[in-house]
Every structure is written in structure tokens, then in C-alpha cells.
A = this chain, B = another copy of it.
């Protein structure tokens, strides 16, 4: 394994391969024997759990409650919302039978043809249909609104080309589905949840994001508006990291969800939905990590501090063990998660490489001389800088250091991102530069034709109309027509 650790491909050699190797070598996830479905390994899952906990707390602060809706959706439900069916009823897993039986050779099982379902069931690719079918019975009056539900669950989309975390047939996510009495309240909720995602991305994941609204082409199937957060990976490509949709009354009408409003009039309910998925793991990995392995933000690191002893013999180890016990206790008292790795079947060098690969933010090393001097070697994972410090007050120092690392990797990612955002008004220039990555702020005439041409000729797409870009007049860089917006264009995952 020590040999494997060193074998990580460099980002500059092959960024894509670096990512694929890192996910597996850092014990985050692996492909399963089921096409396109991944196994999330304990170390990877523990990062996901920390993301879930933080997001879930934030959702609940806004009044959202968790619930659970069925995995399977009757095929006919998908057809009820005209645009939705186009987007989601195609590549999906279809359950057609409900029983197996022993085969004739008595050495295996076959599908029992007698157990064919009257109507096929689809494994949810997203749950708007089944949830709005349920909401019909929950909503009668404006007093039943708003209804703010979220579920943490698995979904399935039969993707042809899959990559761990970024695009898998099955993935884990949360999907929030809210119902409102007014258009304004629903629109506000959709934007509110985007802000929750953006705050989470920046403050927990340390991933800077551009917030904006999608073009009509890139909208969620069935939405009137799709809001998005877009992050820049180290290769300059965009990763859509979370979306929040204002669905208007489309699902209210499709599933006949009506309520008596304050004026005693029958109205259709207004809807939003919003989700983030295990794809966030991909954003986290690709934003911060380096050629030595993962770099994790302290707020999401399962192990924040690892302590490794260096010793000549059992007697010295015992002395270090006793000394470290006090440090561990003081760190834990400050709410810091610590691992003391005194396993004797691995050499310190192996441990160092392994914890670097796994992205543990702070490493403390204590040897015989440190013991004499009451010192400790402190290494921070983000910069790999080492220094020797007194054990006196080390816990407060580490706490501050963790905060500093959290800020530093965000600042670093933001500087990189900002250096790779370009205003660009010339299509030839754009075509020449976009293949090297980066976000391009371009004038767009607002037509699907121009959008399609850019995509076809450059593989880049309009990621969003950013909220915080000043919308000044100009001409579309492709068509030369008057521009409707300045939009963010980039190649993406």
C-alpha cells in the first residue's frame, strides 16, 4: 500500500485520472459490480454525514421538516407534467415484476412471468410527481400552507457514462419540496434555499460559488426558474453544485392540488424543489486537493488532528503514550476530533503519507527529543508547512490553526477562481481560450439558437445569469444582436 500511496497521478499530467485515482486511494468510494452504482466507503461516508448534518440543521432553521416518500413511482405519474416527463422519464430503472422463482435446473432463479405488474414502477429519478400526488390530500386551505418537506434518500438515473460522485446511476441526495399559497412566497423560498446552499458551500466546504439563474434550456424539467450554484474546479471547469427550482403551479395543476385561499377562492398551490447530492463530494475533492492527496476543510474533516509518535523502543513509546493522552484530552475538550495513531505495524513515513492522502488538516508528531523539550512538530495539510511548538497551550494553537486552514483554503480557491473569470466579448477569442478552462462572462442575446451554437462549437454551456454581475448593455458575441444578459459560460462536469 505504501507504494500505491506514492503512485497518485499528478494533476498537471492528467487531472481526470488524478481525480479517479484519488477517490479510490483515499478510501472515499469505489465502483460496485452493479453498473454505474458506487459503494461509498466508511471514510467517504463520514464526510457525507458531516455535510448532511450541517445542511439538515440549516434546513430545519428555516422551518423545513423531514419526511419520507416511496422509492417507486407509477409510470403514469411521470406523464402528468408535460415537461417533466421529457426530462426524467427516459433513462430510468423500470420495475416490471415482483417475484423470482427457482429455475428448471434448480441452480438459480429466474423472473416469474406470472408476477408481472399491471403498471410498471419507476425507481425515483426525483420525487416531484409522487410527492405532489401526496400533497393533494394534505392541502385544503391556506392554513395548511406553507408545507415545507425534505427527504434524504437515494435516487436513480440511468446515466450511460458514470464517474464516482460526479455522475452515478444511483446517488444519495436530499430533495426539498415546498408548497405555498402565493407566487411571491414560493419564489422567495426558492431563492432562500439557494442561499442556504451557497452559504454551506462557502462556509463549510470552503468552495466559492457563483449564484445565478439558469437559461431556459438548462432549467429543471417542469420549472419556471432554476437557480444554481456553480463552482470552479482546478482545471477551470464548472461543477453545478446545487439547484433550487421555482416550479410555479405546474405540479399543483398536474396533480390537482388546490386550496381555499384567504378570500375563499379556490387556487392551485405554488411549488419549489431544491436539492444537493453526493456530487458535492466531487466538488469538495476537486476544489482543494493536491498531488499528495485530499485536502479537507476542517469543518468537514472526520479526523481533524492526527498525532503520530516516533519512538525507538517500547519504553519510549509508553512515555509518549502517556504524554499524548493529556494532549488528546485537551484537544477533545475543545470539540476537536483527534486520532492518536500508535499502531506498531506501520512506519511513521507510511502514516504520514496515508494521512496526507486522506486530507487530515493537522498532523502532530512527537518523538523522544520532543518529549524532553515538551515540544511537538505541527504540520498543516493545506500548505504542508511544519513548525516545532511548545506543548504548552498547543490545544488553543491547534484550534486557531484549524480555523486558519478553513479560511486559507477558501481564500486560495477564491483567488484561483477569480483569476480565471474573464470578461469576453469576442467569440473567436472565446473559442481559443475556453478549452483551457475558466469562467467567461459574455453578452448573450437570450436565444436558444446562440446557446446551442456555443455548445456545439465549444462544448461550453451557459452556466447561469449570475446575480452579482452588473447587467450593462452590449452585443451578443456570437450573433452580434443586442444582448439580453451577461452570462457565465464554461465547460462543465
> A residues bordering B, Cβ < 8 Å?
30, 32-34, 37-42, 45-46, 49, 65-76, 78-79, 85, 89-101, 107-109, 111, 120-123, 130, 133-134, 137, 143, 149, 153-154, 156, 158, 170, 172, 345
Query: Separation in Å of the A452 CB from the closest CB of chain B?
Result: 22
Given the complex, which residues of B lie within 8 Å of A123, measured CB to CB?
A: 71, 95, 123
A37 pairs with B71, CB closer than 8 A? yes
Query: Separation in Å of the A257 CB from the closest CB of chain B?
Result: 14
Given the complex, which residues of B lie within 8 Å of A67, measured CB to CB?
A: 39-42, 45
Which of chain B's residues has its CB closest to A155's CB? B71
With A153-B154, A158-B99 as given contacts, are A93 and B72 in contact (CB-CB < 8 Å)? yes
A34 pairs with B109, CB closer than 8 A? no
Query: Separation in Å of the A3 CB from the closest CB of chain B?
Result: 15
A134 pairs with B69, CB closer than 8 A? no
B46 pairs with A121, CB closer than 8 A? no
Query: Separation in Å of the A133 CB from the closest CB of chain B?
Result: 6
Main secondary structure of the interface of A (DSSP, over half): mixed
- Expressed in whole angstroms, the Cα–Cα distance for A34 and B89 within the complex equals 17
B70 pairs with A32, CB closer than 8 A? yes
A32 pairs with B130, CB closer than 8 A? yes
Which of chain B's residues has its CB closest to A88's CB? B100
Which of chain B's residues has its CB closest to A64's CB? B42
- Expressed in whole angstroms, the Cα–Cα distance for A172 and B153 within the complex equals 10
Given the complex, which residues of B lie within 8 Å of A172, measured CB to CB?
A: 68
Given the complex, which residues of B lie within 8 Å of A156, measured CB to CB?
A: 71
A108 pairs with B134, CB closer than 8 A? no
A70 pairs with B111, CB closer than 8 A? no
Given the complex, which residues of B lie within 8 Å of A39, measured CB to CB?
A: 67-70, 134
With A75-B100, A93-B72, A143-B345 as given contacts, are A65 and B85 in contact (CB-CB < 8 Å)? no
* Selected A-B contacts with CB under 8 Å, 21 pairs: A32-B130, A37-B72, A39-B70, A42-B65, A42-B149, A45-B68, A71-B123, A72-B170, A79-B109, A90-B99, A90-B100, A91-B98, A92-B98, A93-B98, A93-B121, A94-B97, A95-B123, A96-B97, A96-B111, A100-B122, A153-B154
- Expressed in whole angstroms, the Cα–Cα distance for A391 and B95 within the complex equals 59
Given the complex, which residues of B lie within 8 Å of A68, measured CB to CB?
A: 39-40, 45, 172
Query: Separation in Å of the A181 CB from the closest CB of chain B?
Result: 15
- Expressed in whole angstroms, the Cα–Cα distance for A158 and B149 within the complex equals 27
- Expressed in whole angstroms, the Cα–Cα distance for A285 and B141 within the complex equals 29
A70 pairs with B170, CB closer than 8 A? yes
Given the complex, which residues of B lie within 8 Å of A133, measured CB to CB?
A: 33
A71 pairs with B107, CB closer than 8 A? no
B95 pairs with A90, CB closer than 8 A? no
Option from B97, B134, B345 in Cβ contact (under 8 Å) with A32: B134
With A79-B108, A108-B76 as given contacts, are A66 and B45 in contact (CB-CB < 8 Å)? yes
Given the complex, which residues of B lie within 8 Å of A154, measured CB to CB?
A: 71, 153-154
B66 pairs with A49, CB closer than 8 A? yes
Which of chain B's residues has its CB closest to A136's CB? B33
Which of chain B's residues has its CB closest to A85's CB? B109
Given the complex, which residues of B lie within 8 Å of A149, measured CB to CB?
A: 42
Which of chain B's residues has its CB closest to A343's CB? B143
Query: Separation in Å of the A381 CB from the closest CB of chain B?
Result: 22
